[in-house]
Amino acid sequence: MTDNRFFNRSELIGILLLAVFLVVVLPLTLDVFRLNLVAKYLTYAFVALGLVVCWGYGGILSLGQGVFFGLGGYCMAMFLKLEASSVENTKIQSTPGIPDFMDWNQITSLPLFWKPFHSLTFTIAAIILVPGIFALIIGTAMFKRRVGGTYFAIITQAVAAILTILIVGQQGYTGGINGMTDLRTLKGWDIRPDHAKVVLYFFEVGCLFVCIMIAQFIRHSKLGRILVAMREKEDRVRFSGYSVANFKIFAFCIAAVYAAIGGAMFALNVGFMSPSFVGIVPSIEMVIYTAVGGRLSILGAVYGTLLVNFAKTSLSETFPELWLFGLGGLFIAVVLAFPNGLAGIWGDYVQPRIDRLISLRKPKPEGWTDSSVADGAPAE
Amino acid sequence: MSDEETKGLLSPLRRKLLMGIAAVPAITMLPRASFAQSPATSAINTTGLAVTDTEVTVGILHSATGTMAISETGSIEAEKLAIEQINAAGGVLGRKIKFIQEDGASDWPTFAEKAKKLLVNDKVAAIMGCWTSASRKAVLPVVEQYNGMLYYPTFYEGLEQSKNVIYTGQEATQQILAGLNWIAKEKGAKSFFFVGSDYIWPRTSNKIARKHVENVLKGKVVGEEYYPLGNTQFNSVINKIKLTKPDVIFTDVVGGSNVAFYKQLKAAGIDLSKQALLTISVTEDEIDGIGGENIAGAYACMKYFQSLDNANNKAFVPAFKKMWGEKTVIGDVTQAAYLGPWLWKLTVEKAGSFDVDKIAAASPGVEFKGAPEGYVRIHENHHLWSKTRVGRAKLDGQFELIYETADLVEPNPFPKGYQ
């Protein structure tokens, strides 16, 4: 287990299977509408991935990932909204050339902080940096003072609530509760037609795999092992001479940036951004995705997100008035029966059988051990 | 047939006569029957909508769950009632209406997703749906992109007009101006205090109201306050109201906040039988939660009250209660939602087609004489001509009609001088 490779063999198989599933199976079997829905689900998978690093490995439970999802999403939406608010598109307004919600709120010129979002380069930088720096500030303020655990979770919730109130209250600058709707083009390229949705889907899946690779790298590096050690016995790591706070800040920032990328993808794929993704409820939902997938498993996070969202869509289509009960029941069942989520089911029931099958065919496979369970499983 | 009856028909001449008479209604039914058999599906549905020889599918898209469910349930019920009544009367162009209900879950992106599902997957001929402005704003780009038809029931802020939407509620100027005129004349009101929830509809409505008060009524707005949706602490604004002593409190607080607002107003000793209060956001549905004793005496300004005394409404209210229970109340938006399926049916029959483009073009001028609010007609801008009414809340949770405009008020979603 001292190898520093990105992944061992079973993980490689898992990643390849996921790639085949997302790149080949889904696009071939689903129509564009459903594929676009999968693209929407996958935007949450970014958040769930970040939570695996931050919560699963680092043991830092953040109930405010919606904040970063929202910041990333709003940065992207601001760029798209500016492009959609050209003078000719908005000539019906009292002040043409500014976003429609500003006009409704009697704002007559574009606010200063909106102006840089005319540039796509600035926007992309902002998607990463704004949430990253924000997480750095929160993280530094909290972890340097050794605030952790439940208290940290509560504070992240408070931040989520504050940001929602801020966005809703400043509707002249943010679109308020309506959010930013009617996003149309990206550098003149229409993001609404079907073929654009397909292109965006593949772009998103590509980004997702880059993020998965980075998460794999973190997990198998020394850094990842320090994170796990910290989760299990923080004091010991501290007494060994490591700066626990810095590692925690790092994990939190990674999770924030992942969430922000998800948010930006959301704005692109759905053509929409609203404060309903920023608040406490969506933030907790994002934790649920991770929990269902298994908070220790990188791939589990992706499957968990897909499963929960798929269940949400299909249950609500079939039982429009009762679906929330069904969904709630599903969560309770999963948490009670399988505390390690989908990844737990896989590790406990499916993987051993596959191993047995392989070992039957090819006696005594040496050179690799199943470290996915070993270095991920909690100490108890 | 019994023996006695057959004996009565024994005379051949009599039998012939009787048969002739019996055939008369059958003959008069013939043209109608052939009309009901209707044109071929291929002729009236050229864009691949979900229309068969016997059925046409429409979508119902409201929040059945979440914070808005309490408001939107009435709309769902009204739309289902209208669809049932239309089917009982023979359907649309000889086709029964089938509906697919989707849940927007009080979540705007979900609304957009479900609207897309209804249009792309289910190919519905029309969508009855949305409630809040935010959900409409989320659905609008989808409806325009996939060329659907949306019937939107809520009174709203205006500043919008779309080929693909029929607005069956009132836009802001239609709802507000007549009410302000009435209260200025009737109560001699000169000073107004605005309290609203903090989002686009109250803000735009108050903007219009302020311009009207200042420029037309030559009055004064002595305060304007906004609170987040769901806020339950109104003590500070109530203190300000007590200090400024406005002639009229003008409110557009929405949803659950209303319960806290009116209870605290009463607790602070503001007696609504002496202090004039004009609301544009409290319907019978909201009073159900607020409690009649907390709001009795307040004036509401909209286009429909359950207590309206006309023949259409006298048929509508019992039919609604029969389908959904004696205890249900019917508010302004519920009635407007009921108009949706009917207006769509009338428009389809006028256009002779289910095609959205033809319906959009045929909509202006369509009139519905069976509307519970009396009579409505679709304007060129896809809003409705309707009367504006002022009602006074009573202890039993109903409104007593105090005033209604003599004529239909023209919808004007882009009011000059009010922007």
Q: How confident is the model at residue B9 (pLDDT cuts 50, 70, 90)?
A: very low
So what's the pLDDT on residue B319? 96
Spatial distance between the Cα atoms of A171 and B204, rounded to a whole number of angstroms: 12
Residues B276, B299: contact at Cβ < 8 Å?
yes
H or E stretch including B56?
Answer: strand B55-62
Q: How confident is the model at residue B11 (pLDDT cuts 50, 70, 90)?
A: low
B102: chain A residues, CB-CB within 8 Å: 316-317, 320
Check CB contact of B197 with chain A, cutoff 8 Å.
Answer: no
So what's the pLDDT on residue A132? 97
Residues B298, B392: contact at Cβ < 8 Å?
yes
Residues A48, A282: contact at Cβ < 8 Å?
no
Say what percent of chain A tops pLDDT 70.
Answer: 93
Structure tokens at A341: 């989520």
Residue B108: which of A105, A165, A274 has the nearest Cβ? A274
Check CB contact of B157 with chain A, cutoff 8 Å.
Answer: yes
User: pLDDT tens, A47-80?
Assistant: 999 999 999 999 999 999 999 999 999 999 999 9
A316: chain B residues, CB-CB within 8 Å: 102-103, 105, 110
So what's the pLDDT on residue B45? 92
How confident is the model over B78-95, as a mean pLDDT?
96
| pLDDT above 50 (res A368) | no
**pTM score, two decimals?**
0.84
So what's the pLDDT on residue A372? 44
How confident is the model over B2-17, as a mean pLDDT?
51
Average predicted confidence (pLDDT) for chain B: 90
B157: chain A residues, CB-CB within 8 Å: 104
Average predicted confidence (pLDDT) for chain A: 88
Residues B394, B284: contact at Cβ < 8 Å?
no
User: pLDDT tens, B126-142?
Assistant: 999 999 998 999 999 99
User: pLDDT tens, A216-250?
Assistant: 999 999 999 999 999 999 999 999 999 999 999 99
Half-sphere exposure of B155 (CA within 13 A, CB side): 28
User: pLDDT tens, B154-165?
Assistant: 999 998 999 999
Structure tokens at B311: 């023949």
Distances (CA, A) of B200 to A174, A228, B116, B252: 12, 48, 24, 11
Identify the bridge partners of residue B302 per DSSP, sorted by sequence position.
B389
Question: What ipTM is given for this predicted complex?
Answer: 0.79
Check CB contact of B133 with chain A, cutoff 8 Å.
Answer: yes
Half-sphere exposure of A275 (CA within 13 A, CB side): 23
So what's the pLDDT on residue B1? 41
**At a CB cut-off of 8 Å and minimum separation 6, what does B298 contact?**
B262, B272, B277, B278, B279, B282, B392, B393
Sign of CA dihedral B76, B78, B82, B87: positive
Going by the DSSP 8-state scheme, the letter that residue B158 receives in this structure is -
| pLDDT above 90 (res A177) | no
| pLDDT above 80 (res A377) | no
| pLDDT above 70 (res B41) | yes
| pLDDT above 60 (res A199) | yes
| pLDDT above 80 (res B7) | no
Q: How confident is the model at residue A373 (pLDDT cuts 50, 70, 90)?
A: very low
How confident is the model over B405-409, as a mean pLDDT?
95
Spatial distance between the Cα atoms of A108 and B388, rounded to a whole number of angstroms: 33
User: pLDDT tens, B255-310?
Assistant: 878 999 999 999 999 999 999 999 999 999 989 889 999 999 999 999 999 999 99
User: pLDDT tens, A295-328?
Assistant: 889 999 999 999 999 988 888 888 877 888 888 8
User: Among B116-125, B199-208, B289-298, where is mean pLDDT lowest?
Assistant: B199-208
Neighbours of A3 (CB within 10 A): 10
B140: chain A residues, CB-CB within 8 Å: 181-182
Q: How confident is the model at residue A2 (pLDDT cuts 50, 70, 90)?
A: very low
Hey, what's the torsion of the CAs at A160, A165, A168, A172, to 10 degrees? -110
Of all residues in chain B, the one with the smallest CA distance to A317 is: B102
**What is the DSSP track for B185-234?**
HHH---EEEEEEESSHHHHHHHHHHHHIIIIIS--EEEEEEEE-TT----
How confident is the model over B9-28, as a mean pLDDT?
52
Going by the DSSP 8-state scheme, the letter that residue A338 receives in this structure is -
Residue A276: which of B108, B199, B414 has the nearest Cβ? B108
Spatial distance between the Cα atoms of A44 and B208, rounded to a whole number of angstroms: 41
So what's the pLDDT on residue B310? 95
So what's the pLDDT on residue A376? 43
* Helix, strand and coil in chain A, % to nearest 5: 75, 0, 25
**Contact assignment for B157 to A104 by CB distance below 8 Å:** yes
**Contact assignment for B203 to A177 by CB distance below 8 Å:** no
Residue A33: which of B101, B120, B134 has the nearest Cβ? B120
Of all residues in chain A, the one with the smallest CA distance to B73 is: A321
User: Among B60-74, B166-180, B295-309, B354-368, where is mean pLDDT lowest?
Assistant: B60-74
B159: chain A residues, CB-CB within 8 Å: 104
- Looking at the complex, report in whole angstroms how far the Cα of residue A242 sits from the nearest Cα belonging to chain B: 44
User: pLDDT tens, A11-22?
Assistant: 888 899 999 999
Residue B228: which of A92, A169, A274 has the nearest Cβ? A169
| pLDDT above 60 (res B206) | yes
Query: In 3D, which of B244, B206, B247 has the Cα closest to residue B225?
Result: B206
Neighbours of B354 (CB within 10 A): 24
Residue A104: which of B138, B200, B228 has the nearest Cβ? B200
